[in-house]
Structure 1
Amino acid sequence: MTIKAFKTTALDALRNRWGQGILLTIIAYGIYIFVPYLVEAIFSGGFHTWSEMESPGHAQSLSWIFTLALSPLLFGYYATFLSLTRGETIGTKDLFQAFDSKMYFKALGIYILTSIYIFLWSLLLIIPGIIKSFSYSQVYFILKDNPTMSVNGAITESRRLMDGFKWKYFLLLLSFIGWALLSAITFGIASLWTTPYFTASLAAFYDQLVKHQNDNGTGDND
């Protein structure tokens, strides 16, 4: 399990499918990020008013409600890229796979619970919060492979899978710092390529965690 191997797998999966990966990214994050801002702007009295003053409380509250309601899109995005990394056929509709089943409430529950858990751990210190975010990082992939698993079951399984591999995960994240800087200096344009590459690499990392579990039964210690 090397960082280079994860990224090579991601690039191989995206070969001849970059256009599809970019389109999925635009749709998923466009809806997830833009819609709550649009709602906040509308209920703040319009874009001109919203850009010049702090949004009123009701507008901010509605924006947060839409953020929560749309959060299962993140599950759909990660699940779709897991399928892409495995060489499976995918389409735009796969982004919305959580919206027509009980999976919606599981994906929503995972978003809410992991956010709460990470926040509570961060109250101790920033580092424990970051470490816990690593522990919970595989939940969407796990839920994709185990759709009948409960929310807490997926969180627990993520913690178990990541036992011994948080440092490797950190190094994988660290390897994308250059890409993150490129995205920043291009005002987000480069993120259209960086985000699919990053997400596919995370999917490749997850597949190797599962393979390690199947081959060895347990993980290593941190």
Structure 2
Amino acid sequence: MNLSISQIKKKAIATLKGKWGIGVALTFIVCLITTIVPTIIEVPLSGGFSEWFNQTETPLIADMVNLLISFLFIPMTVASYWFYLVIARWNDPKISDVFAVYKEWELSLKVIGTSILVGIFTILWSLLLIIPGIIKGISYSQVFFILRDNPQLSALEAITESKIRMKGYKWKYFLMNLSFIGWVFIAIFTLGIGFLWLTPYISAANATFYNELIALQDHEEANPADLES
């Protein structure tokens, strides 16, 4: 069933019923970790709080450490996507599930490697023109959901699979995410507090998009004509 954008968003809201609280809590915790941890590490590397507070440029060593930390945060970020996939499938995830990904070190390394590859490919396409970069970024958008359902795939295989499955769905994906722009402005006007609720909404919608339109391709006979649409 090819759901419309409004149907996807309505279904996302339905799956979030009774789970808004845990979604807001996860958003707050992830935001707190990704903000506080780099700061805690950067302060001593900058020579202390007063030096850090008054600095105009971040020391090179602090930049290098922050880059490393950003890589370490990738599995947590991806596991946050998977958290909403569980919700989209009408199950009850736990916040601890997001951090449990680090117990599976092979999966965590694959996720980091896949993220780096996706970034490199997107940047290379963007060097040609911005629009091709955006289109390719959308083509790669389902990579991590596909890896969740098919952990045996390599990074390149998951990227290729995402490109194949997104044929015929890229425009809908773009318009769906663009439809949240009004809510983004509202969230900004609330000094960012609104993002605590908007992030679960957008994440649930993207997980629903995958679950209803992309994942189902696992169970359907592939029609060559459809793959080229």
- With the shorter chain as reference, the TM-score category is over 0.9
1:113-150 deviations in Å (ceiling 9; x for gaps):
11111111111111111111101111111111112211
Q: For 1:166 and 1:38, how far apart are their aligned partners in 2?
A: 40
Structure 1 residue 18, shift from structure 2 partner: 0.5
Larger radius of gyration: 2
**One-letter code of the match for 1:20?**
I
TM-score, normalised to structure 1's length? 0.93
Structure 1 residue 86, shift from structure 2 partner: 0.6
- State whether structure 2 residue 156 is matched by structure 1 residue 152: yes
Structure 1 residue 216, shift from structure 2 partner: 5.3
Q: For 1:48 and 1:85, how far apart are their aligned partners in 2?
A: 46
Structure 1 residue 47, shift from structure 2 partner: 4.4
Tell me the secondary structure at the aligned position of residue 71 of structure 1.
helix
Task: State the identity as a percent.
Answer: 40
Distance change in 2, residues 1:48/1:158 (3 Å): farther
CA contact (8 A) 2:165 2:217 kept: no
Distance change in 2, residues 1:16/1:221 (3 Å): same
**One-letter code of the match for 2:102?**
F
Structure 1 residue 221, shift from structure 2 partner: 4.4
5+ residue gaps, structure 2, are none
CA contact (8 A) 2:164 2:227 kept: no
Alignment counterpart, residue 34 of structure 1, candidates 25, 36, 56:
36
Give the equivalent residue in structure 2 for 1:185. Answer: 189
Structure 1 residue 48, shift from structure 2 partner: 4.0
TM-score, normalised to structure 2's length? 0.90
Alignment counterpart, residue 103 of structure 2, candidates 100, 105, 111:
100
Pairwise CA RMSD: 1.7
Give the equivalent residue in structure 2 for 1:4. Answer: 6
CA contact (8 A) 1:183 1:190 kept: yes
Q: For 1:127 and 1:37, how far apart are their aligned partners in 2?
A: 35
Pairing of 1:127-166 with structure 2 (within 5 A): 127-166=131-170
Q: For 1:169 and 1:145, how far apart are their aligned partners in 2?
A: 20
Structure 1 residue 151, shift from structure 2 partner: 1.1
Distance change in 2, residues 1:186/1:107 (3 Å): same
Runs of 4+ displaced beyond 4 Å: none
Alignment counterpart, residue 204 of structure 2, candidates 197, 200, 205:
200
